Amino acid sequence: MTTYADEATTANAPLTSRLFEPASLGDLRLPNRLVMAPMTRNRAAADGVPQPIMATYYAQRASAGLIIAEASTPNAVGQTYPNITAIHDRAHVAGWRQVTDAVRAAGGRMFLQLQHGGRVGHPDNSGLVPVAPSPVPLPDTIFTPSGHQPAVVPREMTIDEIHATVADFAAAARNAVDAGFAGVEVHGANGYLIHQFLAGGTNHRTDAYGGSVAGRIRFAVEVVRAVADAVGPERVGLRIAPGLTVNGIEEGDTGAIYPALLDALADVGLAYLHVVFADPGQPLFHDLRRRWQGTLIANPMLPWPGPLPADGGRREGERLLAAGADLISLGRAFLANPDLVERLRTGAPLNPVRDTGLMYVGGESGYTDYPTLDAVRRAETLAPAAA
């Protein structure tokens, strides 16, 4: 039986593709249209400071058209899991500076994702009770240094806390630019704080930040506008995941929220909109494309949690380009293939993701030890001589 994975190999893909054409993003010139999707890898110190191994990891992947670095918290209470990266004090800026310097030296370009976890957090991770639009706990456990624990009931944010959080996002964006990032991506997806405000299931507020669609999009709009004011709209992207139910999200009215959100941001002049698990077969995808005049990054709908198709998502990416996306982001294929662009361009086989247990733990294994094609070839040449 031919499976999807058998068909979608790199070997039978045409060598020319729009994926490998250059593109512009604000002031940046991207050498190709492949974007490394943000991926939390939990290799920071306990206080959120990026470590030297992260400079190696990202520099290995510098041939991506653009790297969007992993979710980083803009304030202490926004911390989700242990050892995630942060960007709210000088030590974070200095740690990230080593990473952006290494990526720039390797010829790459990099944005940083800003993520406040909201109810996806735990006092054992941040030292603080998580905050959220409403006191609705995550219907799941949360990973902590002592293992998985039941989620706690988050504290409902006051209006003052909402305003302070908007300011924290703006300050974090300024820090990211100080750290050498070309821009930031506001994380409005995957069930974290901004998504919790958008979704009726997690936002039961009766004030200006809840209720109607106009109320529920208000926090997202204020964060994006504040971040754009802080660092310039051409340095800001927004990630959304319409309809995604991850982290217990129930939007209720997906078809109303996202068109309203995009219309409210239409005049800002953002660098891009990034749509997670984009499906070119869905009418909503086409509606968002019609409404969004700027650059659209699409993250294809690949089998989740896996296994990945053998082409890492190339065929789905090309379908999305044909449906109007400008850039394609891939996650796991970049995780396992530092030279993904070259492998896809030449039709070389991909490294599979080795061990998903290594995704969110410290250390080199499953992180910086995925080989490039050159390393594989060198090893093959040496092997007979050694035998």
Residues that bind ligand FMN in the complex, under the rule CB under 6 A: 37-40, 70-71, 113, 187, 189-190, 239, 276, 299, 302, 313, 330-333, 359
Identify whether 192 is a catalytic site residue. yes
Of 67 and 230, nearer to ligand FMN (C-beta) is 67
Give buried/exposed letters for 260-277 (b at 16+ CB in 10 A, else e): bbbebbeebebbbbbbbb
Q: How far is the CB of 80 from ligand FMN (least distance, A)?
A: 9
Of 210 and 309, nearer to ligand FMN (C-beta) is 309
Of 205 and 297, nearer to ligand FMN (C-beta) is 297
Say what angle helices 52-60 and 90-105 make with each other, to 10 degrees: 30
Of 233 and 317, nearer to ligand FMN (C-beta) is 317
Task: Give the torsion through C-alpha atoms of 71, 72, 74, 78, to 10 deg.
Answer: 70
Q: How far is the CB of 316 from ligand FMN (least distance, A)?
A: 9
Q: Which residues contact 306 (CB under 8 A, 6 or more apart)?
A: 332, 353, 356
Of 226 and 275, nearer to ligand FMN (C-beta) is 275
Q: How far is the CB of 301 from ligand FMN (least distance, A)?
A: 8
Q: Tell me the backbone φ, ψ of residue 102, rounded to 5 degrees.
A: -65, -40
Q: How far is the CB of 265 from ligand FMN (least distance, A)?
A: 18
Of 71 and 103, nearer to ligand FMN (C-beta) is 71
Active-site pick, 81, 192, 272, 370: 192
Q: What does the chain come to in residues?
A: 387
Q: How far is the CB of 40 from ligand FMN (least distance, A)?
A: 4
Residue nearest to ligand FMN according to CB distances in the complex:
331
Q: How far apart are CA 73 and CA 84, in angstroms?
A: 8
Give the catalytic positions in this structure: 192
